[in-house]
Amino acid sequence: MSLFGNNELVTGSGSTITVLNPASNPQLLATINTLEDGRPFSAALEEDLERSYQVFKYHGGATNKISGDTIEASPAKLAYVLHKLLDIRSQIIPRNYPFTILARKIAPAPGCGNTVVIKPAG
């Protein structure tokens, strides 16, 4: 499923990116998370992956809730909603934070037409 077509937001089904689904390869994702931030493997496997997945699932499901309704205004005025791709958003995060923190910063952006650039601090 493509998120954008002709520079316009394509409403998705709310599904998540397969590689971020903890059921796709939980051992590998937990190992990467453990090596990256030093959390115990069990915490990465049982907590971080599931929370991160839920964050992406929530924001993925919100993309088809964006509407473009006309706003009530007086007869002399016109008010409307214009949907367009906004900008590139940058996030600087500590390099050893759990993946859940990263997920909360990344997940909302694509559904609203933004690109995210992540830079580890330091």
Q: pLDDT for 87-108, tens place per residue?
A: 777 778 777 777 788 888 888 8
Distance between CA 81 and CA 67 in Å, rounded? Answer: 8
Q: What SS3 class is residue 75?
A: coil
Higher pLDDT: 88 or 18? It is 88
Structure tokens at 35: 């090596």
Q: Where are the beta strands (DSSP E) in 1-122?
A: 4-5, 8-9, 88-93, 115-120
pLDDT number for residue 68? 63
pLDDT number for residue 65? 73
Domains of the chain: 8-120 (3.40.605.10)
Higher pLDDT: 75 or 71? It is 75
Average pLDDT of the residues in 41-51: 87
Q: What percent of the chain has pLDDT over 90?
A: 1
For residue 70, what are the β-bridge partners?
A: none
Q: According to DSSP H, which parts of the chain are helical?
A: 26-37, 41-43, 49-62, 99-106, 108-111
pLDDT number for residue 46? 85
Distance between CA 122 and CA 29 in Å, rounded? Answer: 24
φ, ψ of residue 19 to 5 degrees: the values are -65, -20
